[in-house]
Chains A and B, each alone.
Chain A
Amino acid sequence: MVKPLEFEREIYEIEKRIEELKSIGTGVQLDIDEEIRKLERKVKRKLIKLYRELTPWQRVQVARHPNRPYTLDYVKLMMNNFVEFRGDRRFADDRSIVAGFAEFDGMSVAVVGHQKGRGTKENIERNFGMPHPEGYRKALRVMKLAEKFGIPILTFVDTPGAYPGIGAEERGQAEAIGENLYEMINLKVPIVVSVIGEGGSGGALAISVGDRILMQENAIYAVISPEGCASILWRDSAKAPLAAEALKLTAQDLLKLGVIDEVVKEPIGGAHRNHQLAANILKRAVRRNLRELLNKSIDQLLEERFEKYRNIGVFSQE
């Protein structure tokens, strides 16, 4: 049992009560059945209201929810015949990024995504979804392979950020990220990006340059973590909720700013409450976007991708 988020506690209490009632036995007494149905309606009502009014900081908690579906969950629920390719052929295999090929909507696709772990052991193995340079280089290797064989690329973004460590710097974290931006802008196949959890700065961007940027409604994406921003600008990391607000890191805000192309709905109460439904909704959005992109010539695709990034920015010139 995962610890409920602070603002979900009341709902968890009601759900616990429902479980208790169910264990007494349904169908035995009609008034218990009625009570259960009443409570279930109450949970739904409360969840709808709660999630409609989430603050940016609460969304950060949802985006980081330990039960939230990760890349490999979506691969399993959206695709068939996934084969993972490992290693960057230069230094190592970085387990915080998964890459490979699968069948999606009746065709081959390349899959690249950050991968967090469940539980301490797996999280250490996955380095909490924080890649080293070899992760980005593996991603690029597989994307280049996809380009060679004319296979569209689907990426899944979910990282607190690129790992800040000695080995990462020694092996060129900055160069690896820059190289991916430089290459992805010109990969000659359609790229659909889905931000499914945390979009942590450059470490997220390094697999996020594409033709369509989709973002789940409780995912976040920012130039720096709210905690990092708060500790620099407020000199107090406890001001993270304020930073979360200021950074405009929600899908709704980023759609308005023109940074993403589409907000993808989640099940009532967040993707962590229903993986299958979250995957079904995301799958439909990815498929629709991919089909549109497949109709474009490569010249048109690359021109539109270039223009999209070329035109981002707000400034004045008198």
Chain B
Amino acid sequence: MNRLTADQARQLAARVVALTQADAAETLVISADDSLTRFADNRIHQNVTETDTRVSVRAVLGNRQGVASTNRLDDESLAGCCADAVAAASAAPADPEFPGLPSPVPVQTPVRAAEAAAGFGPEQRAEVALGIVRQCSSRLIQAAGGVASTLQTVAIGNSLGVDVGMETTSVRATVLAQSDRGGSGWASFFGPDPAGLVADALGDEAATLAQRSEYPADLEPGSYTVVLAPEAVADIVDFLGYLGFSARSFEEGRSFLSGNLEKRIMSELVTISDNACAPESFGLVFDYEGMPKRRVPLIENGVATSVVTDSYWAARTGRENTGHALPAPNAFGPMTLDLMMGAGDSTLDEIIGSVERGVYVTRFHYVNAEDPVPVTLTGMTRDGTFLIEDGALATPLKNQRFTQGAVAALNAVKGVTSERAFFDVMLGSALVPGLLIDGWEFTGQTG
């Protein structure tokens, strides 16, 4: 079985909508080829591929709804799936707040599937792995990481006439370089096709950082000026989206935006939007109800601006539908999947050059939230933490634990880099710069 084209997926969605014996119905089809070559200890140790197509049906009876899904595509299984969705809807109590399925809105679907990603097979992935490994093994450094490609088709149809479909591609590569003298470095790539992926450069970046970070020293816990490389910033922005940018958490008083719209809550250097339609984006331009995504300004020059919605939360709060539905049934509420943080006008090197004494962080590890409203995060630094002295990276440091409110940190931003990069995060992707932040709390370090 092969991955469906956008047209095939739309036709399947329409067929399943028609099969569903309910007042209204919606079908989501996700068809994907996922492949990943993983390496560790300078050799490929896992190499996998998967082809799957899932069909999910939301049946509506009056104001009651139920969902069922399957990856069996024969007629009998699809009919059974539709019947399960109808049975779920008929068991549900009446829900007066359910506004019904959304009506169609025109969606412009750009061509975002890169042909080069389709030809990126196991031999090509191995070649990238080899280029990375050579950069490391020649320096007696151990490389670990992965080279992955995803080819995905998503289509949504409903009985009110929603009929959208789109193919997307993504390629991801990561490199962890480790020396036996405690050095650790990291580099990553995330883009729509393998064109921008230069194996030697990626391997060199990680290996150089590993060499540079050998024999890491202790740091006293306390408050420090930090320069966070873009990958570290991606984790912070990801948690802002998870906890705060949704109309649901906003309405429930659980968001840092609750009661703060139109107020300045972050540094005026901070501008964050959700924008799947930006030309550099490579994800879906509609949400999982088939509604067009639009650019939503969330923080503009530090001022809280708005939140994202889906059909349910738009109706419930009297806002416009911004196209941020997750697949039904969605117990999380609308979510940002394409966060973008505005770039500044200094390079990362210039920003490091401006710091007399501080800490440079390549990336974080295992970040989690301890308190939702201030978005208090704890986590560790990883793969290249350095003291900054007199405007330059100095002594490498052991991995540090931080316990820090993300909103407070973004209110203490003193500089934003001109360089930005895309990262594959918990919620979709994020395009972010590096940041200079004052008063960052390090609360411990690794043993």
Specify whether A and B are partners: no
